[in-house]
Amino acid sequence: MFNKTHAMEWLQHGYGLQSTVSLTTAKRLDSALEKFTIQISGLTFPALSDNDDVPTYQVILSKLKRVRFKDCTFDCDRLELPGITQWFENCHFSAGWSVSCIGCNHGYTEQGDSLFEDCTFQGSVSIHQPGVDADSLGQYSGLFWECSAKSLLLSSVNLHTRLWYTSAPPWENKQYLDELVIINTNAAWPIELSHQTISTIHVDSCTLAVLTWERRVLKC
């Protein structure tokens, strides 16, 4: 039986990096990986080099179907993994981060999962086309849960899930986010930010269901 252990062995031996893997083996591996969520813990992903070479770790990750990053550090500013369902838990992002989420299968996501959970962003986070598509973002129950960042930019996307949320009670007024910018965006789900203190919110050319901020409700 071709199980998770076999799949990981194939990955470790360079599947996707060598031309000696047969088509039959590749198909068996693809089929096996569709059944598993691979968890990657405690790794550091270095910044991308100035040349056009795709990092080795990204080539290997592109062979997965579902991957959960836990307790990882990202010195790079993005992971381009189209068609792969991703989760980030308790991860640290040392630079600006551009969310990439394209062509993922809704059936892969477990109920209640967020794209980012308990993550810290030292710089700005951006969500915009062509890096994301609405269907892929919609597979998550929320995007950012108990996270902190310098700023969040949402541009030219359709949002059908919770954006930025926390369990902190309203009276704590914790500041998880310094600045929120929403441009040319349609959000069908209410954006609830009244539990947090945010220095600046900028909204332009948007259709939002409801935006609640500091106990005020803004409808666009």
pLDDT, averaged per 10 consecutive residues of the chain (220 residues), comes to 49 45 58 75 86 75 86 92 88 92 58 83 88 74 89 87 76 73 84 73 80 51
Cβ-based neighbours of 54, under 8 Å, separated by 6 or more: none
What's the pLDDT score for residue 184? 87
Closest CA to 36 of 10, 67, 62: 67
What's the pLDDT score for residue 17? 42
| DSSP class of 55 | P
CA dist list (Å): 198 to 67, 97, 164, 182, 201: 32, 19, 12, 14, 7
What's the pLDDT score for residue 69? 94
What's the pLDDT score for residue 14? 45
Residues facing 145 on adjacent strands: 117, 165
What's the pLDDT score for residue 88? 95
What's the pLDDT score for residue 95? 87
pLDDT digits (tens, 9 = 90+) for 171-211: 565 667 888 899 988 887 778 776 666 778 888 888 776 67
pLDDT digits (tens, 9 = 90+) for 157-173: 888 888 888 776 655 65
Q: Which two tokens stand for residue 116?
A: 């980012």
pTM score: 0.79
| DSSP class of 106 | G
What's the pLDDT score for residue 93? 97
- Cα(198)–Cα(176) distance, rounded to whole angstroms? 8
